[in-house]
Amino acid sequence: MLHQRYYKDYGLAISGLVEHHKVDPLEYNREVDDALQLDGLITPNPNLREILEDIDTSKVKPWLFTNAYITHGQRVVKLLGVDDLFEGITFCDYSKLPFICKPHREMYEKAEAEAGASSPQDCYFVDDSHLNCRHAQARGWTTAHLLEPDMPEPAERASRYQIRDLNSLRSIFPQFFRTTTANGIDGLHSSHL
């Protein structure tokens, strides 16, 4: 399939469409991504909101990092009901050619600069793309590869951490959460006392 080939070769299918078919990326975004009827398909996610609200922002800065154009990225997090819980967003800028997107080194560097990270080792990353996680891990980011519940285990791990549920982040990175369980029954983690 063309979409999968371009995704694999370029990290983003639209990059291949622009390169080989002279598709205008901003028009594509307007006519495809921004035109998608997502209302009802993407709905507020209370569990995601609870996890994000429990992050201790005095220790870590929640930052969106997407290969989508800014309008689509902002729209999706708004529909999920978590748009107010991030301090910023690094996105693939479709107005600047050539594209810089994950998994290319320059995109990780852009995210570090925009988020104000002093070094790659200060970055913690969760993504559902094996390729993106592998490149982030190689760069020195602490990375968790999010597998969908029905997805088989990859033959080779993308990163040190592999999770099937975002609540697992509480046990992997307890130092960044106010509580260590989804409902807070365990109370404060000892490093926060």
- Would you say residue 46 has pLDDT above 60? yes
Task: Look at 184 and 179; give whichever has higher pLDDT.
Answer: 179
pTM of the model: 0.88
- Specify whether the backbone of 131 is left (phi greater than 0), alpha (psi in -120 to 50) or beta: alpha
- Would you say residue 117 has pLDDT above 80? yes
Q: What is the rounded distance in angstroms from the CA atom of residue 99 to the CA atom of residue 16?
A: 10
* Placement of tokens 């989804």 in the chain: 182
- Would you say residue 5 has pLDDT above 90? no
- Would you say residue 190 has pLDDT above 50? no
Average pLDDT of the chain, as a whole number: 90
* pLDDT at residue 188 in the model: 34
* pLDDT at residue 182 in the model: 58
- Would you say residue 38 has pLDDT above 70? yes
Question: How many other β-carbons are positioned within 10 Å of the β-carbon of residue 20?
Answer: 12
**SS3 track for 152-185:** CCCCCCCCCEEECCHHHHHHHCHHHECECCCCCC
* pLDDT at residue 59 in the model: 96
Indicate the pLDDT class of residue 183, thresholds 50, 70 and 90.
low
Could you report the per-residue pLDDT of 47-66, keeping only the tens digit for each?
Answer: 999 999 999 999 999 999 99
User: How large is the average pLDDT for residues 2-14?
Assistant: 78
